[in-house]
Structure 1
Amino acid sequence: MQRYIKKILEARVYDIAVETPMEEARGLSERLANRVLLKREDEQPVFSFKIRGAYNKMSQLNEEEKARGVITASAGNHAQGVAASARHLGIKATIVMPKTTPDVKVSNVRRLGGRAVLHGDTFDEARAHSEKLMAEKGLVYIHPYDDPDVIAGQGTIAMEILRQESGPIDAIFVPVGGGGLIAGIASYVKYLRPETKVIGVESNESACLALAMEKGFRDKLDQVGIFADGVAVAQIGEYTWEVAKDYVDEVITVSTDEICAAIKDIFDDTRSVCEPAGALGVAGMKKYVAREQVSGQTLIAIDSGANVNFDRLRHIAERSELGEQREAIIAARIPERPGSFKKFCAALGKRNITEFNYRYANDQQAIVFAGVQILPNNGGREELMAEMGEHIEDVVDLTDNETAKLHVRYMVGGHAPANVDNEVVYRFEFPERPGALMKFLNKLGGRWNISMFHYRNHGAAYGRVLVGLQVPGDEHDQVGQFLEEIGYTYFEETDNTAYKLFLG
């Protein structure tokens, strides 16, 4: 710890980074009955804290290393931090980025003077290529998080926090990807104020620190989700783990919906739009307060960045009400006869319907998909489901069903005709670039008939696809092998409740 304290105190970040403000979030403070402060790292020159660590590392290179040039692999904030730092220091920088990286980020790296090399569909493929180029050209690698000088650069945030808030701090909530940010903050805070809790917050789709904490060693996640792309890391770093395992008090994981709700919370208080990874601190804080029932405390969340694609805002807005637990998604079977819909609405009491989808299927029954407003004064989901169950024979809560929210809600009424048999269903994440869909269709060829196809893009690096294939029973064991050959991330959804109700 003392080694990092010295490094943090000597870190050279302010040649290019700025000391960011810490603002009270008045709306959140009132709602949570605690004093909530936001550390506004979204106000850095590249709209992210990453510039601190990148510059601190690069400023300490010797003249021979600077002459060789630097290289890194990144799809976003670190790439821009390296490019900006290289321009300031007069160093040539090569940034390897996946081909799926949005144009706005590629353009920004080039605008900052970096050489952007697009390679592969995933970060792992980009990183492998960057390591190959490093060896071939003798470049110096600037790691996005797992380097003592990078960690020290991020630790300057903690130095500012303790200077800006001289009173007691009960807890600091820190977004976690590879761990550079939380390692730097924990080192400094626990040395000077050991009574202050340092709490990591991860997306439940990329909770690599939570996994390491549970197992006691650095293990690797089998799969990493892409919504909070700034923290989409499969394994916590070596240097970062050495700090985190001893000085991080706990890790809280949050869902996509909870992240979206936190983005809205930050917007309501600051009128700024942070990226999904940037809102993790607030999302984790809200969960902590609800769990511990604390009040009157001083709680700080790191707003770590604001590099979000504008197109993603529609998805964020759509999911924020669910994340704030103001809306529930339900499905119900009702008789196909006059008065059934009126009975269904009466069962909702004074709750408003936010969405209702239905299509005639047969003369016996109808299956409806509905969004229902839930507020503190009309009970939560449990009370809603209990009341509905008293009046409606068959009702299902789909609020936590990802396939229902991503796909099925837009496909209601698409039941398979009687002649569609042997259907299996898979959900895919396609790299969002020209040729990705054609690659899939060419691979598929005429082997199995496509019986269902739904595609929805959320402005991210990947598109979401739901596919139905007619596969004879004796060929089911061949599907997995075939999909591995295609190389796209996939999940089987044949047994998904939402699929069976509305599409099967």
Structure 2
Amino acid sequence: MKTILAKEKIYKPSLDAVKEAASRISKVVLKTPLANSFTYSKRFEANVMLKREDLQQVRSYKIRGAYNKISSLPQEQLAKGVICASAGNHAQGVAFACNKLQAKGVIYMPITTPRQKVEQTQMFGGEWVEVVLKGDTFDDSFKSAMKHRDQHGLVFIHPFDDEKVIEGQATIALEILEQADAPIDYIFAPLGGGGLLAGVSSVFKQLSPNTKIIGVEPAGAASMTSSLNEGKVIELAEIERFVDGAAVQKVGSRNFAICQQNLDDMVCLPEGKICQTILDLYNKDAIVVEPAGAMAISALDLYAEEIKGKNVVCMVSGSNNDITRTAEIKERALLYAGIKHYFIVSFPQRAGALREFVAKVLGPNDDITHFEYSKKHHRENGPAVVGIELNNPADFEPLVERMKRKNFYGEYLNDKPNLFQFLV
């Protein structure tokens, strides 16, 4: 990690401020379990514990920071109303707080936000909130919300770059240290804008300085990793929006300064790897999580040797997942695992060509899962887009060799994003 070069004083949440936040939110926010994971403890030969923030009323930790911020506003500010921008979880926290405190709120969300998160936001806010869908990314919504704030004099509730929000998220650390029955060696937590890790890392550095703090973000939106590498906050021109709870183009300046000093490591994970963890948690532990909620656990195998015999905490940050995304989650997981492959196959335009492909090219355990073909007259060969699911990643090279030997091979599509986007 690079050190801070600036001479100005860096904001860090004090323990007194975090304890005050814990008291303020205590009647609204649940003290979520710190549960031992039999599955991951056995796999990694460690004591792996899951901090289950997915069990909050709004199904994510975001209620902590949102409620702490809004409930701390002076009455004259609260009376004017509040406004926020969010990819979903912060929106639900703000909506819940507005309803509870009977304060008017306007909530901007990207048009691409899963419907489940939009509906939940409207449900938690009731008559007290107005939801506005604007822009393709969080950053688009953020800019629109700031214009609305300036026009109507509302108080903006930032999802991560705000002192009261950071202090609210930091209350998770107090709970973990209270619940753990032994010193914690490692803590893994997801990172989007950085509010969660800024708060949690600050508490741990003061109360448990020997704990290794590992931040985890999606490879397609590696805004913190990029900023740490550059030694300053930078804005990514483009991001992959799949991990919507952690897909931001620019991290918070306060959070960057804190994380730059506090994090022991920063990990970027492929979205497909995160998808496999989502499926594993559901199939093996009956835990439903959103992509951001699976990130911390997804990083464990990168530290398999280091965490053996250690006490490890993983933040399960949220469970606001839309069931309609299941097919895409499975597809991304299979692609990452090297099980699913797409090709342009060149079929001779004669009877029996497909039968020959199935009988002499496909392996005994290979399965065609996608097939698009249109016969072209007056040509010797006709292209088809074929999706093939393998039983084992090792079967890929032999499959390609057979396709080439039998003159069926046209083009491999998995590594051609401009074409591949039409399939996945």
User: TM-score under structure 1 normalisation?
Assistant: 0.71
Residues 86-485 of structure 1: matches in 2 within 5 Å?
86-111=98-123, 112-113=125-126, 114-118=128-132, 120-122=134-136, 123-289=138-304, 292=305, 295-323=308-336, 325=337, 327-329=339-341, 331=343, 336=348, 339-345=356-362, 348=363, 351-353=365-367, 355=369, 357=371, 359=373, 363=380, 369-375=386-392, 381=393, 383-388=394-399, 391-393=402-404, 398-399=413-414, 402=417, 406-408=421-423
Residue aligning to 2:16: 6
Instruction: Number of aligned residue pairs: give it.
Output: 397
Determine if contact 2:269/2:299 at 8 Å carries over to the other structure. Answer: yes
Q: Is the aligned partner of 1:42 residue 2:54? A: yes
Determine if contact 2:110/2:140 at 8 Å carries over to the other structure. Answer: yes
Deviations along 1:122-175, one digit per CA (max 9) or x if unpaired, are: 344432332233233322211110011111111111111122223243322211
Determine if contact 2:37/2:48 at 8 Å carries over to the other structure. Answer: yes
Distance in 1 (CA, whole Å) between partners of 2:132 and 2:387 is 43
Determine if contact 2:187/2:314 at 8 Å carries over to the other structure. Answer: yes
- SS of equivalent to 1:252: strand
Deviates more, 1:151-160 or 1:111-120: 111-120
Distance in 1 (CA, whole Å) between partners of 2:37 and 2:284 is 6
Deviations along 1:441-489, one digit per CA (max 9) or x if unpaired, are: xxxxxxxxxxxxxxxxxxxxxxxxxxxxxxxxxxxxxxxxxxxxxxxxx
Determine if contact 2:107/2:129 at 8 Å carries over to the other structure. Answer: yes
- SS of equivalent to 1:184: helix
Determine if contact 2:390/2:396 at 8 Å carries over to the other structure. Answer: no
Distance in 2 (CA, whole Å) between partners of 1:38 and 1:150 is 22
Distance in 1 (CA, whole Å) between partners of 2:143 and 2:249 is 15
Unaligned runs of 5+ in 1: 376-380, 410-504
Deviations along 1:374-410, one digit per CA (max 9) or x if unpaired, are: 44xxxxx4x434444654537676555555654347x
Alpha-carbon distance change, 257 to 68 in structure 1, aligned in 2, over 3 angstroms: same
Alpha-carbon distance change, 368 to 2 in structure 1, aligned in 2, over 3 angstroms: closer
Deviates more, 1:109-118 or 1:305-314: 109-118
Deviations along 1:306-364, one digit per CA (max 9) or x if unpaired, are: 112221122113333334x261415376784674543323xx4x644363637466546
Determine if contact 1:54/1:82 at 8 Å carries over to the other structure. Answer: yes
Residues 75-90 of structure 1: matches in 2 within 5 Å?
75-90=87-102
Aligned residue among 13, 18, 29 for 2:41: 29
Cα distance, 1:217 vs. partner?
Answer: 0.8
Determine if contact 2:340/2:390 at 8 Å carries over to the other structure. Answer: yes
Q: What amino acid is the match of 2:220?
A: E
Residue aligning to 1:18: 30
Cα distance, 1:293 vs. partner?
Answer: 6.9
Alpha-carbon distance change, 314 to 271 in structure 1, aligned in 2, over 3 angstroms: same
Alpha-carbon distance change, 136 to 189 in structure 1, aligned in 2, over 3 angstroms: same
- SS of equivalent to 2:14: helix
Deviations along 1:156-199, one digit per CA (max 9) or x if unpaired, are: 11111122223243322211111001111111112222222211
Distance in 2 (CA, whole Å) between partners of 1:168 and 1:138 is 47
Distance in 2 (CA, whole Å) between partners of 1:333 and 1:238 is 50
Distance in 1 (CA, whole Å) between partners of 2:225 and 2:396 is 32
Distance in 1 (CA, whole Å) between partners of 2:215 and 2:368 is 34
Deviations along 1:205-255, one digit per CA (max 9) or x if unpaired, are: 211001011111101101122211111210110110111001111221122
- SS of equivalent to 1:130: helix
- SS of equivalent to 1:205: helix
- SS of equivalent to 2:214: strand
- SS of equivalent to 2:200: helix
The share of aligned pairs that are identical, in percent, is: 34
